[in-house]
Amino acid sequence: MVLFSLLLALLAERSKKGPGNWRLTSFANGWENMLAGITGLQRWRIHELAGPLLWIAPSLLLALLLWWQPNTLLVFVINLLVLMVVLGCPVKREQLRQYLKSANRGDTLSCMELQEQLDDRVMEEGPATVGQSLVWLNFRYYFAVAFWFIIFGAPGALGYGLLREREELYPRLLHWVDLIPVRVAGFGYLLVGHFSRAMPAWLGGLFNVSESAPDYLTRVAMKAEDVQAEAGDLTEEPCCLLNLAKRTMMLLLAALAIATLLGWVA
């Protein structure tokens, strides 16, 4: 059921056209407004431990609901709905589409503006290339969501999505949440990319918990994919690195399929 839910949600996400309204953002804004309207919670919202727990309370309540009422059909419906809300980012996808159009017609100024918009990293120094931004966006909106969904089900995916929506408030917590999946994703890059060249980069940061997740992941990705772009080619690097990230996502789904066949995952 985990594999089936993921596949259906990915198909539904890919079938969307245009940026649309990103529903998780709307839900997160509504939840934040509700918390702000409760006077007795204000001092707890800024508490180091209680603040994040209050913010991900919907995922904790969802976990209680699924534990109390583990109906198979209900679980499947909730899994699908949560994944359709949390997976993907239509706004960023539209920005990428506009970037590629601008690059193909040689509009360098527009490409530079869109490159800045695509850089979704928080508290990072120095600009990222478009390809590096796409590697991180693919991890943040697809791979990490799928990883925590496989481990903790819909509550895990929803909790991660909520933390992602307020990364500027809980950067340290999200750093630790990303610690394991970012290394799993990096290992996937080794398997679908240039293994021998990327292995030293992957091992070099494996136990370095102080290194930021975007820096570690993009460093491994740049080693795993052989990008040979001609001068002035603004599309080769992002397309190559995006394909690397997509192959890694397919590898995760293949591993999940095998685990399902072996009975390790329901």
Q: Give the count of beta carbons closer than 10 Å to the beta carbon of residue 45.
A: 16
Type of residue at 241: L
Residue the block writes with tokens 């089900």? 153
**Alpha-carbon separation of residue 28 from 50, 86, 88, 162, 164 (angstroms):** 17, 11, 16, 7, 10
The pLDDT of residue 116 is 87
The sign of the dihedral angle between the CA atoms of 78, 61, 54, 143 is negative
Domain ranges of the chain: 2-261
The pLDDT of residue 20 is 46
User: Which residue, 246, 89, 192, 82, is CA-closest to 148?
Assistant: 82
C-alpha R_g of the chain:
19
Exposure letters 205-217 (e unless 16+ CB within 10 A, then b): beeeeebbbbbbb
pLDDT in tens, 22-53: 578 888 999 999 998 888 888 888 888 889 99
What is the phi-psi region of residue 225: left when phi exceeds 0, alpha when psi lies from -120 to 50, beta otherwise? beta
The pLDDT of residue 108 is 87
The tens place of each residue's pLDDT in the chain, 266 residues long, gives 899 999 999 998 887 644 444 578 888 999 999 998 888 888 888 888 889 999 999 999 999 999 998 888 999 999 999 999 999 888 888 899 999 999 888 888 998 888 888 887 754 556 788 999 999 999 999 999 999 999 999 999 999 999 999 988 899 999 999 999 999 999 999 999 999 999 999 999 999 999 999 999 999 999 999 887 676 778 889 999 999 999 999 999 999 999 999 988 87
Structure tokens of 115? 């490159």
The pLDDT of residue 13 is 85
The pLDDT of residue 18 is 41
